[in-house]
């Protein structure tokens, strides 16, 4: 991939070459492990979020400035030179080359630009796993299913106090539990999609 970028830095690419790079026809999509690696780092998640809000190449300096603003919890205009430089250097030397190798971004170091690839469309699938401090929804639903099964078993054997209410009432209660959970999950998931909100998911973590 670096050889392709050197050629692009020496002159304008042909339409065919550029189309191949942007559609990913000549590049294997990132593996699950590679996406996990990308999202395991907060600074890379912030960079991904910044890129998903844009269409086309973005100046590395602009990405660094926005990421620094999120990291230091200030407005972009309040980011100091040193804060911006620290983030810029880390992105340029470490994070973006790693993301480029994974096929998540197209990073042109010579031009100082970076662009999201179609692979980022799948990134939100993995956010539930890498957030860190919260129970994954898959585990939550597994636990909820266990509670529902225990409840229905108690109703089945007419255990007290479950026998005080009709079986249908408990059935409605179970359906309501899953319905409320599904609504909450849908609402929460929308706020976790990278590039969909003003601030990146997990900004306060």
Looking at the fold, whether 96 and 6 belong to one and the same domain comes out as yes
The domain total for the chain is 2
- Which has the minimum average pLDDT: 102-111, 160-169, 179-188, 193-202? 193-202
- Supply the pTM of this predicted model: 0.57
Give the residue with greater pLDDT, 156 vs 21: 156
Looking at the fold, whether 116 and 149 belong to one and the same domain comes out as no
Looking at the fold, whether 145 and 164 belong to one and the same domain comes out as yes
Does the pLDDT at position 4 exceed 60?
Answer: no
Span 129-164, pLDDT tens digits:
445 445 667 788 889 999 999 999 998 998 888 888
- pLDDT bin (cut points 50, 70, 90) of residue 36 is confident
Span 37-82, pLDDT tens digits:
888 888 998 998 899 888 889 999 999 999 999 999 999 999 999 9
What pLDDT score was predicted for residue 163?
A: 85
What pLDDT score was predicted for residue 145?
A: 93
Q: CA distances (Å), 46 to each of 37, 41, 129, 155, 172, in order?
A: 14, 9, 16, 49, 42
Q: Which residue carries 């300096």 as its tokens?
A: 61
**Domain termination site, one of 80, 99, 127:** 127
The vertex-180 CA angle with 175 and 183, nearest 5°, equals 125
Exposure of 115 by Cβ count < 10 A (0-12 exposed, 13-18 middle, 19+ buried)? middle
Looking at the fold, whether 122 and 161 belong to one and the same domain comes out as no
Looking at the fold, whether 100 and 18 belong to one and the same domain comes out as yes
**C-beta atoms surrounding 186 within 10 Å:** 9
Whole-number average pLDDT of the chain: 77
Radius of gyration of the chain (CA): 23
Looking at the fold, whether 40 and 99 belong to one and the same domain comes out as yes
Joined tokens for residue 134: 């919260």
Domain assignment present for 204? no
Looking at the fold, whether 91 and 23 belong to one and the same domain comes out as yes
Looking at the fold, whether 18 and 96 belong to one and the same domain comes out as yes
- Which has the minimum average pLDDT: 7-21, 74-88, 132-146, 177-191? 7-21
What pLDDT score was predicted for residue 194?
A: 56
Question: Helix, strand, coil shares of the chain as percentages rounded to 5?
Answer: 65, 5, 30
Residue 165: give the domain boundaries: 132-192
The arithmetic mean of pLDDT across residues 163-168, rounded, is: 88
Give the residue with greater pLDDT, 52 vs 124: 52
């Amino acid at each position: 991939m670096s050889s392709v970028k050197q050629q692009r830095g020496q002159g304008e690419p042909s339409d065919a070459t550029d189309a191949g790079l942007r559609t990913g026809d000549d590049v294997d999509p990132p593996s699950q492990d590679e996406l996990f690696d990308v999202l395991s780092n907060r600074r890379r998640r912030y960079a991904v979020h910044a890129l998903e809000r844009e269409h086309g190449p973005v100046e590395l300096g602009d990405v660094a400035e926005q990421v620094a603003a999120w990291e230091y919890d200030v407005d972009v205009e309040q980011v100091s030179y040193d804060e911006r430089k620290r983030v810029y250097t880390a992105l340029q030397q470490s994070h973006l080359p790693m993301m480029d190798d994974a096929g998540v971004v197209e990073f042109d170091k010579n031009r100082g630009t970076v662009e999201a690839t179609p692979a980022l469309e799948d990134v939100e699938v993995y956010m539930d796993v890498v957030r860190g401090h919260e129970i994954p929804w898959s585990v939550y639903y597994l636990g909820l299913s266990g509670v529902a099964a225990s409840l229905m078993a108690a109703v089945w054997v007419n255990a007290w106090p479950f026998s005080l209410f009709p079986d249908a009432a408990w059935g409605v209660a179970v359906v309501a539990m899953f319905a409320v959970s599904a609504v909450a999950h849908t609402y929460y998931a929308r706020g976790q999609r990278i590039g969909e909100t003003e601030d990146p998911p997990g900004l306060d973590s």
